[in-house]
């Protein structure tokens, strides 16, 4: 007996299934029609009636690979990176004492024999008495002091040059600390005393922090830490919704006029989503604290898995009738770009393979939902990057650009996997 053509799908079923973007659901209905035709022709069928051809045509069981991820923990930098190159710790008193006593090379190397004999005189006589009693010795010691001062200044300049080079090369924590010291010097020069200003800035070190999102200082002693991803995401979320960049309150549904507040009802939700995907870099500039902490991100795949489970549960409840097909319930089962209609639910109810097709549909919806949030997060980061204090901090701009590129790579990886599955299927 020849196999009949698969042409007996009802017009009503085609009309119900046509609006959905899931081609596999339509293919499943076609196979169901073919299976009924074979049964009417005398063929016996058992088990699942969906064909292998349909399974391949819809790309398998899920849109992309999914899996869970363990909770990420904060990791602090090692001891080697946890201390700044603090040139202010250099002491002119120690330098002078060591120079005159021969602990370090310098004046002692030039006039070693003379200074060795003068050490006891320096310890017992004031400078004025030495000048009157032995002008030659006094001049010699004065030259030693000047030599020590020159060596000290040269060493300090070398230290500062090395610190700047390290900040340029390593960036990150060293760059933030250098910026904090620069801000301390800027505030100290108001005294107009150059020496006092330098000493004051070196004493403060990075404990005063740096200007950060919202205008207040962060990262210093007793201040909130600099959380680049979280703070910039919060700023972008609030700017998009026309609020203060530091606002942490939720937005009521009646007041929501943007896609961001429809997706995340509060800046905290947006921040948590961003830091979970991208991770976080926590920077501090204070002297006695951990300078840098990082929290790795999990990427988009675990979030697709979680979204898939939620969408599948909502779909199964709609198909089984546990939930009514109201607008809210349908919206919970779908996404903005891939909505679930009442017709799709009715078509699934008529399918013997409704569980298999529902799982595939849930994976498509989950992928669409997570990608929508990822693209929205990218726009949020770009907006937050324009906050004046953030835009003025090159270190923050570079970090945000890097995180945005990372997110773009995550999206590209999912796109590549989806296209590869389709190519293999066809």
Q: For the beta carbon of residue 395, count every other beta carbon within 10 angstroms.
A: 20
Residue 337, classified by CB atoms within 10 Å of its CB into exposed (0-12), middle (13-18) or buried (19+), is exposed
d(CA 332, CA 209): 44
Tokens coding 75: 């990791």
What's the residue count for the chain?
426
CA distances from 246 to 16, 218, 220, 233, 262 (A): 48, 13, 18, 11, 19
d(CA 217, CA 228): 14
Across the chain, which distance is largest between two alpha carbons, in Å?
131
Tokens coding 15: 């009309």
Radius of gyration for the chain, computed over Cα atoms and rounded to the nearest angstrom? 35
d(CA 256, CA 237): 12
Confidence at residue 164, expressed as pLDDT on a 0 to 100 scale: 58
Q: For the beta carbon of residue 217, count every other beta carbon within 10 angstroms.
A: 18
d(CA 172, CA 175): 5
Q: For the beta carbon of residue 344, count every other beta carbon within 10 angstroms.
A: 27
Please, what are the averages of pLDDT over each run of 10 residues along the chain (426 residues)? 36 36 40 36 39 54 57 48 47 57 52 51 58 70 66 61 55 70 70 64 79 91 93 96 94 91 95 95 85 88 92 93 92 90 90 84 92 95 94 91 94 88 73
3-class SS of residue 37: helix
Helices 194-204 and 172-188 sit at what angle, rounded to 10 degrees? 140
- With beta carbons less than 8 A apart as the criterion, state whether 213 and 283 touch: no
Angle at 260 between CA 337 and CA 341, to 5 degrees: 25
Confidence at residue 355, expressed as pLDDT on a 0 to 100 scale: 84
Residue 422, classified by CB atoms within 10 Å of its CB into exposed (0-12), middle (13-18) or buried (19+), is middle
The predicted model scores a pTM of: 0.68
Pairing of strands 210-211, 217-218: antiparallel
Confidence at residue 421, expressed as pLDDT on a 0 to 100 scale: 78
Tokens coding 227: 């959380």
DSSP result, 330-371: HHHHS-SSSPPPHHHHHHHHT-TTHHHHHHHHHHHHHHHHHH
Confidence at residue 130, expressed as pLDDT on a 0 to 100 scale: 66
Helices 394-425 and 267-278 sit at what angle, rounded to 10 degrees? 70
């Amino acid at each position: 007996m020849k196999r009949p053509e698969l042409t007996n799908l009802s017009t009503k079923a085609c009309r119900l299934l046509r609006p959905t973007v899931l081609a596999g659901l339509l293919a499943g209905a076609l196979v169901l029609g073919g299976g009924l035709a074979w049964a009417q022709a005398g063929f016996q069928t058992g088990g699942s009636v969906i064909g292998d051809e349909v399974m391949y045509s819809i790309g398998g069981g899920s849109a992309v690979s999914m899996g869970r991820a363990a909770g990420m923990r904060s990791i602090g930098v090692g001891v080697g990176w946890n201390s700044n190159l603090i040139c202010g710790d250099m002491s002119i008193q120690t330098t002078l004492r060591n120079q005159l006593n021969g602990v370090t090379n310098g004046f002692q190397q030039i006039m070693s024999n003379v200074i060795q004999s003068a050490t006891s005189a320096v310890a017992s006589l004031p400078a004025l008495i030495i000048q009157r009693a032995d002008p030659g010795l006094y001049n010699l010691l004065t030259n030693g002091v000047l030599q020590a001062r020159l060596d000290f200044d040269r060493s300090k300049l070398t230290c500062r040059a090395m610190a700047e080079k390290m900040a340029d090369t390593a960036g990150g924590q060293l760059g933030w600390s250098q910026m904090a010291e620069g801000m301390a010097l800027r505030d100290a020069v108001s005294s107009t005393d150059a020496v006092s200003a330098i000493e004051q800035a070196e004493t403060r070190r990075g404990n005063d922090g740096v200007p950060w999102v919202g205008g207040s200082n962060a990262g210093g002693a007793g201040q909130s830490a600099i959380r680049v991803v979280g703070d910039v995401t919060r700023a972008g979320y609030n700017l998009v919704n026309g609020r203060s960049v530091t606002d942490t309150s939720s937005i009521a549904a009646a007041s929501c006029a943007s896609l961001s507040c429809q997706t995340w009802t509060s800046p905290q939700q947006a921040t948590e989503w961003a830091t979970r995907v991208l991770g976080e870099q926590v920077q501090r500039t204070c002297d006695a604290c951990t300078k840098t902490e990082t929290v790795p991100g999990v990427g988009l795949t675990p979030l697709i898995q979680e979204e898939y489970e939620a969408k599948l549960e909502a779909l199964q409840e709609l198909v089984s009738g546990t939930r009514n097909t109201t607008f809210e319930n349908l919206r919970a089962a779908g996404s903005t770009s891939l909505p679930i209609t009442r017709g799709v639910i009715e078509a699934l109810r008529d399918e013997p393979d409704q569980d298999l097709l529902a799982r595939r549909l849930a994976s498509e919806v989950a992928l669409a939902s997570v990608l929508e949030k990822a693209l929205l997060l990218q726009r949020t980061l770009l907006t937050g990057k324009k906050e004046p204090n953030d835009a003025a901090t090159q270190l923050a701009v570079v970090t945000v650009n890097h995180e945005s590129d990372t997110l773009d790579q995550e999206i590209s990886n999912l796109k590549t996997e989806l296209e590869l599955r389709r190519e293999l299927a066809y």
